[in-house]
């Protein structure tokens, strides 16, 4: 009986050791492939048996040199809690890899990685409403006024009565004109006769 109990305890210890060795850190948020903007809260778990330290860092997805940039380091394990508040505006837009690495007492390293996209410059997609707005009915006011009906009454121009003006005292009558001409002609003829008589008298 005692031997059976020792065997059970040995199996349990072996199972727990295997489970502890298979434990990995976890990044709970953000999700793999998520688009990030501004301040981002990163949550996860680093509580692994044999925990010594942990670090959270990122790298360019296209970088093959293995360069990682630290975000936060940890000296205490955490279980599904906030690990860091990451300001993504401090880096350029692009595709990145987030890595949560835990260092154990035996010197082994355990990593959890996800791929994320930083898009601070690109505006978020806005839903376009497909509803068509029906214009409100606006009653049209008639501005035309009824035409005034006027009966055309023929107007008779006023009769003008001629006004007789008084005779002009300076007006010269036709008879007087002719009489003046005759008198002038007689005077001229008389002068010629008188001059003829004088000329004859001197010659004689």
Q: What is the pLDDT along the chain (204 residues), one digit of tens a residue?
A: 555 554 454 444 434 443 444 578 999 999 999 999 999 999 999 999 999 999 999 999 998 888 999 999 999 999 999 999 999 999 999 999 999 999 999 999 999 999 999 999 866 566 555 544 455 555 555 545 555 554 555 555 555 555 555 555 555 566 776 777 888 888 888 888 888 888 888 887
Cα torsion for 185, 187, 189, 191, to the nearest 10°?
-150
CATH number of 23-118: 2.60.40.2550
Q: Is the pTM of this model over 0.85?
A: no
Residue 180 is predicted with a pLDDT of 77
DSSP readout, 1-26?
-HHHHHHHHHHHHHHHHHHHHH---E
Residue 73 is predicted with a pLDDT of 94
Residue 13 is predicted with a pLDDT of 43
Residue 38 is predicted with a pLDDT of 94
Residue 12 is predicted with a pLDDT of 47
Residue 147 is predicted with a pLDDT of 53
Structural domain boundaries in the chain:
23-118
Residue 194 is predicted with a pLDDT of 86
């Amino acid at each position: 009986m005692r031997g059976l109990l020792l065997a059970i305890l040995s199996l349990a210890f072996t199972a727990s050791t295997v489970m502890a060795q298979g434990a990995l850190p976890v990044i709970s948020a953000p999700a793999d492939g998520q688009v990030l903007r501004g301040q981002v809260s990163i949550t996860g778990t680093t509580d692994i048996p044999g925990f010594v330290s942990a670090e959270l860092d990122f790298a360019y997805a296209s970088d093959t040199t293995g360069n990682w940039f630290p975000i936060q380091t940890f000296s205490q394990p955490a279980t599904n809690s906030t690990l860091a508040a990451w300001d993504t505006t401090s880096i350029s837009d692009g595709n990145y890899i987030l890595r949560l690495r835990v260092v154990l007492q035996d010197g082994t390293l355990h990593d959890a990685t996800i791929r994320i996209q930083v898009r601070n410059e690109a505006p978020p997609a806005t839903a376009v409403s497909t509803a068509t707005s029906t214009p409100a009915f606006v009653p049209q006011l008639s501005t035309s006024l009824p035409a005034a009906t006027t009966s055309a009454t023929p107007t008779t121009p006023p009769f003008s009565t001629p006004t007789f003006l008084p005779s002009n005292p300076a007006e010269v009558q036709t008879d007087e004109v002719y009489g003046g001409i005759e008198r002038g002609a007689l005077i001229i003829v008389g002068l010629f006769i008188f001059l003829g008589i004088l000329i004859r008298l001197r010659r004689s």
